[in-house]
Structure 1
Amino acid sequence: MRHLWFDIACLPLGWGRRVRIGVDGGAIASVETDVDAQPSDERHGAALPGLCNVHSHGFQRGMAGLSERRGRPDDDFWSWREVMYRFLDRLSPEDIAAITAQAYVEMLESGFTRVGEFHYLHNDVDGVRYADPAETAGAIVAAAETSGIGLTLLPVFYAHGDFGAAAAAPGQRRFLSDVDGFARLVEASRATLPADALLGVAPHSLRAVTPDELSAILPLAGDGPIHIHAAEQVREVEACIAWSGARPVEWLLDHAAVDDRWCLVHATHLTDRECDRLAASGAVAGLCPVTEANLGDGIFPAVRYLAAGGWFGVGTDSNILIDAAGELRAVEYAQRLAHRRRALLADEDKPSVGQALFAGAQAGGAQALGVRGGLAVGAPADLLSLDPDHPALAGATPDTLLDRWIFAARHGAIDCVWRGGRKWVEGGRHVDADAVAERYRRTVGGLLA
């Protein structure tokens, strides 16, 4: 067993001082507080548990910035989707692995130690399933192993182009499965996973899955998590009402036994009743505020949802810009813009907005990805250290440290990141950043040539 020693550490019951953490076999074996460092201990300033990225499409990192040109007066999510379809038509499994590895390196450098990969790119460019159904899942696993990030793989079931089993569009051909084919894909994907990876399932959305198909694929998750896109767009909500008479989240809560194994990704457009019911269900709302802003989706009703006791996590979704602190900051800033007030997601008992955001996302993210979180005995040794010499953290106390990091630090505040007890980031840089970036540059350069 080896030990890490910190001046302060964010523990489950609050900040501890002079904290010594023992690591053995990839897990936390001991946590001592108010103790001196031993000569063999590795010493650092402040320790935080790693965050879980609840929603990622890794390959989309390669198209970041390609859709930021005005091409039509009604440019929105649906026109962005056409750009995405054109980009993914070029990708081989090797391309997916190279691009996703770069995304995962950036996630680790920003403080994410596990990712929920909402993986729907299953078929070859002609729409035919690869001979190995887990061909592209293997590319995701390879990217996770190259980068070192923890992986919760979420194979996506996608069968239709819109509500009511409408035919899929040509650009969706690489996503499509039937129930039997998806079952084979899930089992093949399970066989590719390393020991510390997890598997769930992800019905893409009510647009892409019929009620019967939803019922058929949910058991494939076993005891793993279940993720689904829901109510991201107003047009989606209107189409769901036209199909079923109910809104997407309303329909799920009425028909799908949503509970604490579920993560409803986005859930942006909720009525007050839906908001309260979702909070009461125990499910996690998977918020991706940077992507949601980029796509013009809308603003999640976080003030009401958190007041009702709802769980949330954050994700990077399209990976337009990968920054854990930036996602947390965007959750709060969106509420300030919507309500024209400040410090909305804290309360009188816990006045620090940064601490409220971090604690909520850390707990909700771990639940959504099916892992135990926090700096506690038996939990994975997934943690990060903040650099006490970073200018934005000068004079910070435990009460102000997370506010300083999330709202004021830009890049460079994270010094080291450990995942499964192994240090993958040191001095703010991933240990294999240069090699992964070079492969990424060659891949994307070739795709866009």
Structure 2
Amino acid sequence: MPALFAETALLPQGWADRVRIDWDAAGTITAVTPGAPAQGSAERADAVVPGMPNLHCHAFQRAMAGLTERAGPAGDDFWSWRAVMYKFVAALEPEQIAAIAAQLYVEMLKAGYTSVAEFHYLHNDPEGKPYADRAELANQIALAAGATGIRLTLLPVLYQTGNFGGAAPSEAQRRFLLKTDAFNALVESLFKALRGSRHVRVGIAPHSLRAVPPAALREAKAALDKIDPTAPIHIHAAEQTKEVEDCLAWSGKRPVEWLLDEAKCDARWTLVHCTHMTADEARRLAASGATAGLCPTTEADLGDGLFPLVDYLAGKGRFGVGSDSNVGVSPAEELRWLEWGQRLLHRRRNLAPAPEGASIGGTLWRASLAGGAQALGQPVGAVAVGRRADFLALDRAHPCLAGHMGDGLLDALVFAGGTAAIRHVMVGGRWVVREGRHPAEERIAENYRAALRRLA
């Protein structure tokens, strides 16, 4: 049985030294033994921490990074960025989507993400017509994940309307649109096709309340429940103040308030962004058991605002982080800006709730592991029996980590640019990054460059 001997490792109960970790052929941890002798055939590593789940990603947007940083008319905002995104997505072909996703997933693995929830809303061809195989574009995402070795939760997106109240979608949204019966058929086909995979789970992602009417939301959830009543459900909520205002005008309720009242969100649900919540919404979301999906680099890039982290965590709310538009591809960077944004807002330091003297980096890393695992609906996020063998092996001799021990390693990783010290990355008991390199990175990068040349 394969095994790894770690000089030190982050376990659910805290840091332990001389830890032997065993797993089976399926990549599931079967034994964790602190204080073990370094003997036998077990490979050795320095410091081991669980790999981070990425709970929100639109892979194709990685190829847009840097294309929207030109001054426009006064009032550039999320909505003007969205117009550029619609124009970009209009020409993407299946093989280009696969090439972009594969390049992104290699970057994620090297930065410390070992699993990703792909919020996938490209379904139709550039004319808005269905492919012969309705799952053509979703299959490209699954192929990219398989080619790189990252663990995947695939979330096909339901998208039907242009705004609250059933407003007609725009022509630019034609690649996203599916009727509810076609969407349910797509989801069922993905469950059937991917059922045997140890690395892939399927859920659904109603895009938002402005894009999914209540009846369609109920029907999609009911269809999912018949297939898998535990499958994850993700939805965008309260990212923009205009969205909140429009939701109030439509329903008399704010987006998070509406979802908590009408959709009865529980631990299966991830509400992405939730930037503009009242204190009562933050309290209720925390109490619901749902996960808040936070994407600080994207939220900063789009000028969304700042999540009310202090209020939310005061209610013991669950959260994880995601790369979203992929202008940043590092869990450490997301956590760093999550904390730094709160410091700028409150003009104080070390705001993530923790006992006096506790590590802020450690607090954020652990919380995001737990919230991310819940959001992805996969047994990840911990070095523990029954979880998947998804690890990062850190190099404590690297200057970024030199002199740090225990949670000090996580403080350095998050706040001092320590991702350069990620030496090896394992997913499902298999090394997918060794000495900072992915074995297929050169071929994947060339395919990515070729895809961008065709899009130019």
TM-score range, shorter chain: over 0.9
SS, match of residue 29 in structure 1:
strand
What is the aligned partner in structure 2 of residue 195 from structure 1? Answer: 197
| AA aligned opposite 2:202 | L
Secondary structure in structure 2 of the residue aligned to 1:391: coil
| Letter matched to residue 390 of structure 1 | H
Aligned to 2:75: 74
In structure 1, what is the equivalent of residue 59 of structure 2?
A: 58
Number of matched pairs: 448
- Offset of 1:35 from its aligned partner? 1.4
* Counterpart amino acid of residue 380 in structure 1: R
Query: How large is the Cα RMSD of the aligned pairs?
Result: 1.0
**In the TM superposition, what is the alpha-carbon distance from 1:39 to its structure 2 partner?**
4.2
Distance 1:350 1:215, change over 3 A: farther
Aligned to 2:216: 213
User: Tell me, which stretches of 5 or more residues in structure 1 are unaligned?
Assistant: none
Task: Give the alignment of 1:108-127 within 5 angstroms.
Answer: 108-127=109-128
Residue 42 (str. 1) matches residue 50 (str. 2): no
Distance 1:220 1:330, change over 3 A: farther
Whether the aligned pair in 1 keeps the contact of 2:314 and 2:353 (CA below 8 Å) is no
CA distance in 2, matches of 1:141, 1:343: 39
**2:338 maps to which residue?**
331
- Give the corresponding residue for 1:178: 179
Deviations 1:100-141 (A, max 9, x none): 011111111111111000000000001011111100010000
Distance 2:418 2:21 in 1: 28
Cα deviation, 1:58-107, whole Å, max 9, x if unaligned, reads 01111111001111210000000011111111111111000001111111
Report how far residue 430 of structure 1 moved. 1.5
Deviations 1:285-332 (A, max 9, x none): 000000000000000001110111100000000011211110111110
Task: Compute the TM-score of the two structures, normalised by the length of structure 2.
Answer: 0.97
- 1:427 paired with 2:435, answer yes
Aligned-residue offset at 1:29: 1.5
| Distance in 2 between residues matched to 1:32 and 1:411, nearest whole Å | 27
Deviation at 1:338, TM superposition (A): 0.6
Contact 2:373 2:379 in 1 (8 A): yes
| 1:192, distance to aligned residue in structure 2 (A) | 3.3
The aligned residue for residue 144 of structure 2 is 143
Mapped contact 1:141–1:192 kept (Cα < 8 A): no
Partner of 2:6: 6
Identity of aligned residues (%): 55
CA distance in 2, matches of 1:434, 1:350: 44
- Contact 2:9/2:15 (8 A) holds in 1: yes
Note the C-alpha offset of 1:21: 0.6
Q: 1:349 Cα shift? A: 5.1
Q: 1:350 offset after TM fit, Å?
A: 6.2
CA deviations over 1:379-415 (Å, ceiling 9, x no partner): 1111111111210111111131100111113542101
Encode CA deviations 1:24-54: one digit per residue, 9 max, x unaligned: 2211111111112114221111101111100
The answer for unaligned runs of 5 or more in structure 2 is none
Q: Distance in 2 between matches of 1:49 and 1:255?
A: 36
Q: Distance in 2 between matches of 1:411 and 1:200?
A: 30
AA at the equivalent of 2:5: W
Q: What are the residue-to-residue correspondences of 1:124-135 with 2, within 5 Å?
A: 124-135=125-136
Distance across 2 between alignment mates of 1:113 and 1:157? 26
Task: Provide, for residues 340-371 of structure 1, a one-character-per-residue CA deviation record: whole Å limited to 9, x for no partner.
Answer: 10000042256210011000000000000001
Contact 2:97 / 2:137 at 8 angstroms: preserved in 1? Answer: yes
What are the equivalent positions in structure 2 for 1:284-323 lying under 5 Å apart? 284-323=291-330
Q: Distance in 2 between matches of 1:12 and 1:410?
A: 22
Are residue 21 (structure 1) and residue 21 (structure 2) matched? yes
